[in-house]
């Protein structure tokens, strides 16, 4: 296991734990305009994983995974609408998205080849990065959203 995998598993596990018990109303509650809901954040985390790993491994994606990949950027770092509507963002969909992202990421982050580490891809924010850069981002990305989850869950008005 790589140092990237160790950090990713810790952050990813804490993020997943922070949202796993939420219902649809809680997943879709928005703290304020211009922020992600916890459901959108979860789908975004999985979307970044699908986006980066599919580029690194040159994996073709089905329609659902293409939509999931779009959640890496759409409605997050650009002005496009988020690709999943609130009515779609259910506990089951969030669980499915996170499982897909995890399933694609684990084999690569655990034992990346030199080819994967050196391969170039487009990051969610736009710059071209290497596979090593992608794995470094994985090491903290879910932790960033886990912090948001704590703030949102403890915010006044969060549905109980």
120 close to 129: Cβ distance less than 8 angstroms: yes
Quote the domain boundaries for residue 106.
3-153
* Residue 158, domain member (yes or no): no
Distances (CA, A) of 67 to 48, 61, 72, 115, 125: 11, 9, 9, 27, 17
pLDDT in tens, 125-147: 888 999 999 999 988 999 999 99
Count of the separate structural domains present in the chain: 1
Q: What is the CATH number of the domain that holds 109?
A: 1.20.120.450
Q: What is the CA radius of gyration of the chain?
A: 15
pLDDT in tens, 27-80: 999 999 989 999 999 999 999 999 999 999 999 999 999 999 999 999 999 999
> How far is the C-alpha of 119 from the C-alpha of 103, rounded, in Å?
20
pTM: 0.96
């Amino acid at each position: 296991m790589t140092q990237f995998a160790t950090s990713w598993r810790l952050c990813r596990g804490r993020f997943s734990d922070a949202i796993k018990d939420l219902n649809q109303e809680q997943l879709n509650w928005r703290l304020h305009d211009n922020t992600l809901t916890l459901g959108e954040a979860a789908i975004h985390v999985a979307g970044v994983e699908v986006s980066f790993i599919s580029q690194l491994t040159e994996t073709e994606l089905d329609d659902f995974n293409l939509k999931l990949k779009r959640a890496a950027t759409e409605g997050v770092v650009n002005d496009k609408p988020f690709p999943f509507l609130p009515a779609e963002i259910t506990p089951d969909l969030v669980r499915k998205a996170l499982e897909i992202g995890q399933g694609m990421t684990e084999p690569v982050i655990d034992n990346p080849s030199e080819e994967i580490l050196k391969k170039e891809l487009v990051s969610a924010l736009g710059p071209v990065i290497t596979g090593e850069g992608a794995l470094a981002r994985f090491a903290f990305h879910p932790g960033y959203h886990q912090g948001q989850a704590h703030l949102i869950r403890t915010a006044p008005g969060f549905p109980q």
